[in-house]
Amino acid sequence: MLATSSVLIVAGSETSITMLSCTMNHLVQNPDKMALLAAKIRKAFKREDDFALSPLRDLPYLNVVLNEGLRMCNSTPVGAPRVVPPGCGTVSGVRFPEGEFINMHSLTVSRSPKIWYDSNPFHPKRWLEKKSAEFGMDQQNAIQLSGVDLRSCIGRLLTWAEIRLILARLV
């Protein structure tokens, strides 16, 4: 019970806080985007008490700001380390011996100019303009917030509920 609680607190708090601080940092440095987000939220909700999970989930600009915040500063920078199973393993055509520790740093993916157009600045609209000349070639699936498959994040729904509510209140 103690160990499980400890895992949930560590896995669930640092990750969300890092992601939110990073997003807020980029919003503060981009006042036009901060103003646009605030306007969208105030248009959708008359009072702070009206914030509820399901209408917040349906606010496109809030979601793309959070996606871009996550791209800019992934809260699991160590990636998802794995040990190659018995026999050997192949990743992207490269063979690794059994027992080898392999990992991919999340920021190498989320800031790569081979994957993202104009990869270093904060562009929430890249998530809306999937067919634009600029952002149309972005490989959005390259980012997997919650990991994939069997060991993926059990807190992903809670995370999105949390970060939407908190950011909406902050702006």
Annotated binding-site residues for heme read: 153
d(CA 99, CA 119): 34
Distances (CA, A) of 65 to 27, 80, 82, 135: 9, 24, 30, 15
83 makes contact with ligand HEM (CB under 6 A) = no
109 makes contact with ligand HEM (CB under 6 A) = no
159 makes contact with ligand HEM (CB under 6 A) = yes
65 makes contact with ligand HEM (CB under 6 A) = no
Q: Which residue has the tokens 């104009």?
A: 118
**CB of 110 vs ligand HEM, minimal distance in Å:** 12
Question: Quick check: 138 and 117 in contact, CB under 8 A?
Answer: yes
Handedness of CA 168, 59, 160, 16 (dihedral sign): negative
153 makes contact with ligand HEM (CB under 6 A) = yes
- Among positions 132-151, residues that touch ligand HEM (CB under 6 A) are 145-147, 151
Contact footprint for ligand HEM (CB under 6 A): 7-8, 11-12, 15-16, 19, 75-76, 80, 145-147, 151-155, 158-159
